């Protein structure tokens, strides 16, 4: 029976991932900061879900992850879904700092643990929920786009390191567009997916061990445009 750990599963994509994996018979370890939401998730799948309530930005986050993996008696797939982002106008250090602490430092700490754990195993997979926002900078949320760029580049680095060390670790960088969660704050939303639809596509991509995936898939077109639009034009329009 496969075992998956999801960091950040109290709501949105993470919660949908947990429910869908549990429905498939996986043993699922879920984390979050709100115990009542973790409890309600476990009550739906009492035989398949274990919970751990902690803040991924805390100094002892890796110890909490290690304890959860121990309770699961192993880990095959590690998914980092915890994230924070908000518009920062005027530039607000509290927002920027929380974004960086969650999307950069917490992410790197968690992935460091997962990589070293899986490196000693026959194989496994590390998945990060980044964003289409990782492709270019954002004047509305500078730390958010920059932190997601860090995530995507770090995941690519882990992919290369896994190959260099001749491990069997697969790495998957998930870049969603708009998903109907509290994180989608733009007034110009389009192609909005439900968390359940996004989670289903993410699980399919994980099954196929894809390296980089856009959710939903048509967001690959937006990614192509963002990557190729001239800098002077992007800075003028956005």
What is the pLDDT averaged over residues 48-72?
Answer: 97
pLDDT at position 195 is 95
- Give yes or no for residue 69 having a pLDDT over 90: yes
Name the nearest CA neighbour of 40 among 18, 25, 72.
Answer: 18
- The rounded percent of the chain whose pLDDT value lies above 90 is 89
Q: Which residue has the higher pLDDT, 132 or 188?
A: 132
SS3 175: strand
| CATH number, domain 3-237 | 3.40.50.720
User: Per-residue pLDDT for 181 more than 80?
Assistant: no
Higher pLDDT, 238 or 200: 200
Q: pTM for the full model?
A: 0.94
Residue 234 is among the residues annotated as catalytic for this protein: no
The yes-or-no verdict on residue 190 having pLDDT over 80 is: no
The whole-angstrom separation of Cα 200 and Cα 196 is: 6
Query: At residue 191, does pLDDT exceed 80?
Result: no
Banded pLDDT at 43 (limits 50, 70, 90): very high
pLDDT tops 60 at residue 208: yes
Q: CA-CA distance, 193 to 82, in Å (whole number)?
A: 18
Phi and psi torsions of 205, nearest 5°? -70, -35
Percentage of the chain beyond pLDDT 70 is 96
> Can you tell me whether residue 214 is helix, strand or coil?
strand
Helix (H) or strand (E) holding 49, with range, is: strand 49-53
Q: Which of 26, 113, 144, 178 is catalytic?
A: 144
pLDDT of residue 188: 60
* Tokens describing residue 173: 């960088």
Q: How many helices (H) and strands (E) does the chain have?
A: 9, 7
Rg value, the chain, Cα? 17
49-53 vs 124-129, strand pairing mode: unpaired
Average pLDDT for the chain: 94
| Residue 237, pLDDT score | 83
Using the predicted structure, report yes or no on whether residue 186 has a pLDDT greater than 60: no
């Amino acid at each position: 029976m496969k075992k998956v750990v999801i960091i950040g599963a109290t709501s949105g994509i993470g919660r949908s991932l947990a429910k869908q994996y549990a429905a498939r018979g996986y043993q699922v370890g879920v984390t979050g900061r709100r115990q009542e939401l973790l409890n309600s998730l476990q009550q739906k799948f009492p035989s398949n879900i274990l919970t751990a309530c902690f803040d991924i930005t805390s100094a002892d986050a890796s110890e909490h992850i290690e304890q959860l993996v121990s309770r699961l008696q192993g880990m095959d797939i590690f998914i980092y879904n915890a994230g924070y982002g908000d518009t920062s106008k005027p530039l607000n250090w509290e927002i920027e700092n929380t974004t960086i602490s969650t999307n950069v430092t917490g992410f790197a700490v968690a992935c460091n643990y997962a990589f070293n754990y899986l490196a000693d195993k026959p194989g496994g997979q590390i998945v990060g929920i980044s964003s289409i926002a990782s492709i270019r900078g954002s004047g509305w949320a500078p730390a958010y786009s920059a932190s997601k760029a860090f995530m995507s580049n770090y995941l690519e680095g882990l992919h290369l390191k896994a190959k260099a060390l001749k491990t069997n670790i697969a790495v998957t960088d998930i870049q969603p567009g708009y998903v109907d969660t509290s994180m989608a704050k733009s007034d110009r939303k389009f192609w909005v997916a439900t968390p359940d639809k996004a989670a289903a596509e993410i699980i399919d991509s994980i099954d196929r061990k894809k390296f980089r995936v856009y959710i939903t898939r048509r967001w690959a077109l937006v990614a192509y445009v963002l990557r190729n639009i001239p800098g002077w034009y992007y800075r003028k329009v956005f």
